[in-house]
Amino acid sequence: MTSTPDVEANLNQAEELIELAVNQGAKLIGLPENFSFLGRDEEKIAQVETIATKSEKFLIRMAQRFQVTILGGGFPTPLEGDRTKAYNTAMLVDANGTALAVITRHTYSMSMYLMVTIIKNQKPSWQGMTYPPYVALKT
């Protein structure tokens, strides 16, 4: 996937790739960082609320439509109290459209700040865990 500053075009491209993956049997789909927007910081900051809202709604709609789990690998979200910066947020959504986890980090300094929110408030059980099938896409 090659993202641009055009959010709608990026989401259309992502939808096509998700559908391709589903048609090949994928149940867990990961979208790359900046899947919904890749452009100049000034452009990103100017429309961060719109990008965030469209990205979140898109992930939920695609997961429900195709009955898959989707990881939206990173999209800008507003930084409360500072309209000059944005977080980079990844979101894991199940087939019901429920956000299972949200990972938020800032991208504006050398130190890494990472905030992980596990929505379901359950401890993971790594032993005996099974993973849904996946496919590698060749485009």
Residue at 129 is within a domain? no
CA angle 51, 56, 61 (to 5 degrees): 125
Residue 77 vs residues 90, 119, 134: alpha-carbon distances, Å:
10, 17, 28
- Domain extent, residue 55, equals 7-118
Report the CATH number that the domain containing residue 103 is assigned in CATH: 3.60.110.10
pLDDT at res. 115: 47
Q: Are 14 and 31 contacting, i.e. CB atoms less than 8 angstroms apart? A: yes
Residue at 18 is within a domain? yes
* Sequential pLDDT tens for the chain (139 residues): 899 999 999 999 999 999 999 999 999 999 999 999 999 999 999 999 999 999 999 999 999 999 999 999 889 988 878 888 888 888 899 999 988 888 877 665 444 444 444 444 444 333 343 434 444 444 4
Number of domains in the chain: 1
pLDDT at res. 29: 95
Residue 133 corresponds to which amino acid? P
Residue at 25 is within a domain? yes
Q: What is the pTM of this model?
A: 0.78
Residue at 76 is within a domain? yes
Written as six digits, the tokens of 11 are 């989401």
- Select from 99, 21, 109, 105 the least CA-distant residue to 55: 99
Residue at 1 is within a domain? no
